[in-house]
Amino acid sequence: MAATLSREDLLRAYRMMKTIREFEERVHTEFATGEIPGFVHLYAGEEASATGICLHLNDNDKIASTHRGHGHCIAKGVDVYGMMAEIYGRATGTCRGKGGSMHIADLDMGMMGANGIVGGGPPLICGAGLAAKFKKNKGVAIAFVGDGGSNQGTTLESLNLATVWNLPCIFVMENNGYAESTASKWSVACKDIVERAHGFGMPGVMVDGHDFFAVYEAAGEAITRARQGGGPTLIECKLNRYFGHFEGDAQTYRGPDEVKKLRETKDCIKSFARRVTSAGMLSQAEMDAIDKTVLANIDDAVAKAKAAPKPSAKDLLTDVYTSY
């Protein structure tokens, strides 16, 4: 177990992962009722990645996310009430109902947005890293990228620029095996995305993305190096998603019982619980208590989102420019 993790850290990590899981399971259920508009892309199954990375971060640090952004938002501290209201398109949402699931952002929390464009985040993260460098605030900037996004030119250009400018950036490639319905073992030309790190002159490390401790340790090394001026790192997290690309995806491209088996054998929250209880760091009772508060919060967030006011007609025309 990573030596730097205190009991408080572990409790925080568990709460974060559990919040993401329950948030996503609940959005999945609620989406099926037809009340949630548009597209949602759920992060359930991948919680250890966002949590293992973001537990290292502070208010000076920035992250940019993907379509599958709810987990990153929660891990960076974005309020789940605002997020749920945003997903319902309500005026009380994080983005006042103008962004939706694919664009939840909270710049005050250093969350630069989920992104509707695959590969949209890495260039922005180079900029956030550059700003931290100019401000000399030791901030780091993290781009979460999927295996689909790992093939985008924007991502590859950003890897190059981050090394050329020696930026405090970490590129976290969350390889969940599928870009939409296309397998990454088919669409990624190299065996592992991490091999690309070498070509861009930066350290690369591959971790089991279901293992919170592995992610946490790899991230800690990379982030410390970046804060000390040592430049960027690429981390590939091999993981799995429990749901489809988007809600409504019949997932006929996946093998029979694939998801069922994953839930049984590759559950980052269960493996975390086993590990901390066997090490005597946390008790099951402590985690059960967290489960209760998390579920109550999510229930409350859904109830409040459903009851929240919708945006008014005048909101259509505001917030385009700061002045015009």
Partner 1 sequence: MARTITFQQAISEALSQEMARDPSVIVMGEDNVGGMGADGEKDAWGGVLGVTKGLYPKYGERVMDTPISESAFIGAAIGAATAGMRPVAELMFIDFMGVCFDQIFNQAAKFRYMFGGKAETPVVIRTMVGAGFRAAAQHSQMLYSIFTHIPGLKVVIPATPYDAKGLMIQSIRDNDPVIFCEHKMLYTVQGEVPEEIYTIPFGEANVVRDGKHVTLVTLGRMVHVALEAASNLAKNNIQCEVIDLRTTSPMDEDTVLESVGKTGRLVVVDEANPRCNIATDVSAIVAEKAFGALKAPIAMVTAPHTPVPFSPDLEDLYIPNAAKIEAAVMKVSGYKG
Q: Which is nearer to partner 1, 52 or 120 (CB)?
A: 120
Q: Does residue number 93 form part of the binding site for partner 1 (CB under 8 A)?
A: yes
Q: Report the site for partner 1 in 100-159 (rule: CB under 8 A).
A: 103, 105-108, 112-113, 115-117, 120, 122-128, 130-132, 134-135, 141, 153-154, 157-158
One-letter amino acid at 12 equals R
Q: How far is the CB of 324 from partner 1 (least distance, A)?
A: 5
User: Which residue is associated with the tokens 């985008």?
Assistant: 152
CA nearest neighbour of 49 among 28, 67, 76, 87:
76
Q: How far is the CB of 105 from partner 1 (least distance, A)?
A: 5
Q: How far is the CB of 125 from partner 1 (least distance, A)?
A: 6
Which of 12, 26, 28, 98: binder of partner 1 (CB under 8 A)? Answer: 98
Q: Report the site for partner 1 in 156-175 (rule: CB under 8 A).
A: 157-158, 160-161, 164-165
Q: Does residue number 61 form part of the binding site for partner 1 (CB under 8 A)?
A: no
User: Which residue is associated with the tokens 């309020």?
Assistant: 79
Q: Which is nearer to partner 1, 186 or 321 (CB)?
A: 321
C-beta separation of 68 from 242 below 8 A: no
C-beta separation of 207 from 194 below 8 A: no
Q: Which is nearer to partner 1, 123 or 177 (CB)?
A: 123
Q: Does residue number 318 form part of the binding site for partner 1 (CB under 8 A)?
A: yes
Q: How far is the CB of 112 from partner 1 (least distance, A)?
A: 6
CA nearest neighbour of 226 among 287, 286, 137, 295:
137
Q: Applying CB under 8 A, which part among 51-59, 68-76, 93-101, 204-212 lies near partner 1?
A: 93-101
Q: Which is nearer to partner 1, 78 or 215 (CB)?
A: 78
Q: Does residue number 226 form part of the binding site for partner 1 (CB under 8 A)?
A: no
Give residues in contact with partner 1 (CB under 8 A).
62, 64, 93-99, 103, 105-108, 112-113, 115-117, 120, 122-128, 130-132, 134-135, 141, 153-154, 157-158, 160-161, 164-165, 318-324
